[in-house]
Chains A and B, each alone.
Chain A
Amino acid sequence: MPSTLYEKIVNAHLVEELGDDLLLYIDRHLIHEVTTPQAFAGLDEKNRRVRRPDLTFGTMDHSISTKSLALDACGPLNQLQLNTLAVNCAKHNIPLYPVGHKNQGIVHVIGPQLGLIQPGMTVVCGDSHTATHGAFGALAFGIGTSQVEHVLATQTLKQSNAKNMQVKVNGKLPLGVTAKDIILAIIGKIGHAGATGHVIEYCGTAISELSMEQRMTVCNMSIEAGAKAGLIAPDDKTIEYIRGKEFAPVGKQWEQAVTYWQSLHSDADAIFDTVVELNADEIEPQVTWGTNPGQVVGINQNVPSPASFSDSINQDSAKKALKYMGLEAGQSIQDIAISHVFIGSCTNSRIEDLRAAAKVAALGRVVDGVTAIVVPGSVAVKAQAEQEQLDKIFINAGFEWRLPGCSMCLGMNDDVLGSEDRCASTSNRNFEGRQGRGARTHLVSPEMAAAAAISGKFTDVRKLGA
């Protein structure tokens, strides 16, 4: 029977069928400080051990300062949480990359960077943006803390079968339009819950053309369409990206792995429950106007009127969103002035993102009254950027250059916005209060964020001539 890539990975990890539940083996478990303390406490309560510390990897990212390496820099609660992770990892022999370690960074940046994530694997983490790793053709999804505990204790997870959705992005992406714009356009088309219950497989010429880092940006936001996971079948780019990485297989194992990876794709006649097609040529730089990522339009469009939505629930959501965002229906997106810019997060903090943003930043200066911060995704990304002198470009243009972490994507540290601050953000969620109570978040690409910083308002980056 023909199968999708998702079905093939599930079948290859099936430990046992338990009625309508599947017990799946987990190849990689990434952990961080926020969603694990209660899981370890649960293990301790029952005297349970971590079954495979060698398949579990920890880092510190959510609760840390981007201005200081001190664990107490953001207060005693954050410090306790970070220390708890360190104690738990030491106790259970789990490798941990703490603040100050060369491998430290946002969990979804360091996993791929270290070669930990490989095609065909199952990857979980107590974080909804785990879908990022689907860029490698791995089945990767976010889990709750009870499930973290289950994986720590058993290296398995019970899962129901998801439905299959194919999202085909045909054509060629215009210059100045990015992977971020592709995924925002997809979410805009299918809606904030459009893929609930599904695993998305992204394909088509515009997806094949993307670099691995760009593919990570696309898969990262699968959850913002409600999807369980997002996948892209591995190809030569995937294999070349992994080659030589710290945890990549070597020698004969590398050859065996590559042979296996090359077999991983949906069969030509595989059946998808839902198929969505987009034309990349028609996508323009995207800007969210509302309080969920599906509330998005192109840079040359206007803020929509709530009345333009077909049902009362979406009309109501739009009305509430406009009120929270302080916007008027019909207002041009390019007339929206911003006070803050955040370049970073597991969506857009990799070296290619920083290069792209720096290229635009070099064209001007951060407008007076605008605060702009750049937060690299990992120690390695920061070092690479500094080697390329991107930090100097940002600093000379008036941006702040920070230490790696999740930072203002969710503001669990002190990178928090004030009420009515308006931020052009390369992160993944524009929910109410996400970056600070009353703060207004507009999701954009790194190029568009840099363009907003030097223009003081949203601008079509293609007109700046970067």
Chain B
Amino acid sequence: MRGISVIQGTIAPLNQANIDTDQIIPKQFLTGVTRTGYGINLFHNWRYLPGPKKLEDPSFALNQPEYQGASVLLTRENFGCGSSREHAPWALADYGFHAIVAASYADIFYGNCINNQLLPVVLTSAQLDLLFTKVAQNPKVEVTISLSEQFVSCEELKFEFDIQAHHKNNLLKGLDAIGQTLELDDKISAFEAKRPSFA
């Protein structure tokens, strides 16, 4: 897997808290058996008008021309709550997002992002307010997110963010997590030898 270090691009704003994974990718699109092709149905029920024709709802932010091609999704607290479906980060990445900037994330979703090279950045609500204002003033404003140096910058704004060292390392290097663990095979076997027989 590729690693990520710096992400530069424009922002798509979704100014709403508690966006759950059922909104990110509704259940009718979970029947796939591959990891690809979910982007077209990202935010399906908000993005498309009812009916089979997939007509775009012009009022939805992602459909507005100025936000096309955005690589950073700007949103609010508790993003990705609900179902554990990894189809959610698959859909976000497949659509073209490389990073999400929010006040907080649900735990399972956060882990799923790390495992899919999608950078989940946490900023404070006050910092998000300033970024939302920037995008409102200029929808094509460029944002830079440096994972290695842990900051988000947008014109004169510059915010540092925290990320756990092992998450950062995995994202930077695009490591094969399973391959790393398989190198600990001796330790796993030793643990198995000690497990109680009733388990």
Interface residues of B in 165-192 (CB under 8 A from A): 165-166, 177-179, 181-182, 184, 187-188, 191-192
Contact of B188 among A35, A145, A156 (CB under 8 A): A156
Q: Which of B77-106 contact A (CB under 8 A)?
A: 77-78, 81-86, 89, 104, 106
B57 at the interface (CB under 8 A from A): no
Q: Within B96-126, which residues are at the interface with A (CB < 8 Å)?
A: 104, 106-108, 111-112, 115-116, 125
Please report the C-alpha to C-alpha distance between residue A257 and residue B184 in the assembled complex, in whole angstroms: 28
Give bound CA distance, A118 to B197, whole Å: 13
A41:B33 contact, CB within 8 angstroms: yes
* Residues A16 and B187 in contact, CB atoms below 8 Å apart: yes
Given contacts A19-B166, A193-B78, contact A292 B18 (CB under 8 A): yes
- A272 at interface (Cβ–Cβ under 8 A)? no
Q: Which residue of B lies closest to A321 (CB)?
A: B18
Given contacts A127-B84, A292-B18, A429-B82, contact A193 B77 (CB under 8 A): yes
Q: Does B18 lie within 8 Å of A192, measured CB to CB?
A: yes
Is the pair A411, B184 in contact by a Cβ cutoff of 8 Å?
A: no
Task: List residues 142-184 of chain B with CB under 8 A from any CB of chain A.
Answer: 164-166, 177-179, 181-182, 184
Q: Is B56 an interface position by the 8 A CB rule?
A: no
CB distance from B183 to the nearest CB of A (A): 10
Residues of A within 8 A of B111 (CB): 143-144, 147
Instruction: Kindly provide the distance from the CB of B23 to the nearest chain A CB, expressed in whole angstroms.
Output: 6
> For residues 44 through 62 of chain B, which have their beta carbon under 8 Å from a beta carbon of chain A?
45, 50
Q: A18-B166, A25-B188, A154-B178 in contact; A412/B50 too (CB < 8 A)?
A: no
Number of A-B residue pairs at CB separation under 8 A: 188
Known contacts A63-B31, A153-B178, A256-B198; decide if A35 and B107 are in contact (CB<8 Å): no
Which residues from A are CB-within-8-Å of B116?
146
CB B185 to nearest CB in A, in angstroms, measures 8
Determine whether the beta carbon of B166 is less than 8 Å from that of A20. yes
Q: Does B30 contact A (CB under 8 A)?
A: yes
Question: Are A27 and B33 in touch, CB under 8 angstroms?
Answer: no
User: How near does chain A come to B119, taking the closest CB pair, in angstroms?
Assistant: 16
B9 within 8 A of A: no
Asked if B107 and A228 make an inter-chain contact with CB atoms under 8 angstroms apart, the answer reads: yes
Q: Is A149 an interface residue (CB 8 A)?
A: yes
What residues on A are CB-neighbors of B50 within 8 Å?
419, 437-438
A459 at the interface (CB under 8 A from B): no
Indicate if A196 sits at the interface (CB-CB under 8 A): yes
Q: Does B65 contact A (CB under 8 A)?
A: no
A15–B17 Cα gap in the complex (Å)? 37
B82, A128: Cβ atoms under 8 Å? yes
Across the interface, which residues of A come within 8 angstroms of B115, CB to CB?
144, 146-147
User: Is there an interface contact between A437 and B199, defined as CB atoms closer than 8 Å?
Assistant: no
Assembly CA distance A144 to B88 (angstroms): 10
Residue contact A256 to B196, C-beta cutoff 8 Å: yes
Q: CB distance B198 to A412 under 8 Å?
A: no
* B45 lies within 8 A of A437 (CB): yes
> Chain B contacts of A317 at CB under 8 A?
16-18
A347 CB within 8 Å of chain B: no
**Alpha-carbon gap, A434 to B22, bound state (A):** 7
Q: How far is the CA of A338 from the CA of B81 in the complex (A)?
A: 27
Which partner residue on chain B sits nearest A51 by CB separation? B188
Q: Are A432 and B177 in touch, CB under 8 angstroms?
A: no
Whether B86 contacts A154 by the Cβ 8 Å rule is no
Task: Pick the residue among B30, B83, B198 that contacts A249 (CB under 8 A).
Answer: B198
Rounded to whole Å, the gap between the CB of A39 and the closest CB of chain B is: 9
By beta carbon, the residue of chain B nearest A150 is: B178
Contacts of B85 in A (CB 8 A): 34-35, 144
Pair B31/A412 contact, Cβ less than 8 Å = yes
Of A75-83, A208-216, A277-285, which stretch is located at the interface?
Answer: A75-83
- Expressed in whole angstroms, the minimum distance between the Cβ of A247 and any Cβ of chain B is 11
Q: Is the CB of A149 within 8 A of B184?
A: no
How many angstroms from the CA of A125 to the CA of B163 in the assembled complex?
26
Give min CB distance, A344 to chain B, whole Å.
16
Do B107 and A197 touch across chains, with their CB atoms under 8 A apart? yes
Choose from B17, B34, B83, B125 the contact partner of A316 (Cβ within 8 Å): B17
Interface of chain A residues 175 through 221 with chain B (CB within 8 A): 192-193, 196-197
A349 CA to B65 CA, complexed, in Å: 47
Q: List 24 A-B contacts (CB under 8 A).
A: A15-B191, A34-B85, A37-B32, A38-B33, A38-B34, A81-B31, A142-B84, A143-B84, A143-B108, A144-B108, A146-B115, A154-B182, A155-B188, A155-B192, A156-B184, A158-B181, A193-B77, A196-B107, A197-B107, A226-B107, A254-B198, A256-B197, A431-B23, A437-B26
Known A77-B31, A313-B77; further 8 A-B contacts with Cβ < 8 A: A16-B187, A20-B164, A41-B33, A41-B35, A118-B199, A153-B178, A193-B104, A429-B22
